[in-house]
Amino acid sequence: MPIQVNNLRALQIKTLMVWCILLVSTLGAWLWMERASTAVTHVILASIIGLAGMKVALVIAYYMEINHAPRWLQALCATWLSVVFGMILLCYLKPEWVRPLFGF
């Protein structure tokens, strides 16, 4: 059944708003890291990683339409997102926890 015209407009606006957030956070993170160069603190790193995680979550939820998907698919996507970004956060913020796991 086709989407109703007024719903389509609302849907397109939502899609565009997600893109605006993606674009601003991409440019913001890039500029931030370019300016930070040698003075990258844990707070900056965690923020940049968090921004990337947010971007991936937005694409999964609104572009892949997982926000309306069955629970099993939402759970799998959420697990991937959590494991990947959890791993990245650990490696970059708590390397002393990760090194023993890999024997160095």
> Under the rule (CB under 8 A), what is the footprint of another protein?
1-5, 8, 11-12, 15-16, 18-19, 22-23, 26-27, 29-30, 33-34, 40, 45, 48-49, 52, 55-56, 59-60, 62-66, 68-71, 73, 76-77, 80, 83-84, 87-88, 91-92, 95, 98-99, 102, 104
Task: Report the amino acid identity of residue 15.
Answer: T
Question: What's the closest the beta carbon of residue 39 comes to another protein, in angstroms?
Answer: 14
Do 91 and 102 form a contact (C-beta atoms < 8 A)?
no
CA dist 19 and 17 (Å) reads 5
Provide the greatest CA pair distance for the chain: 59
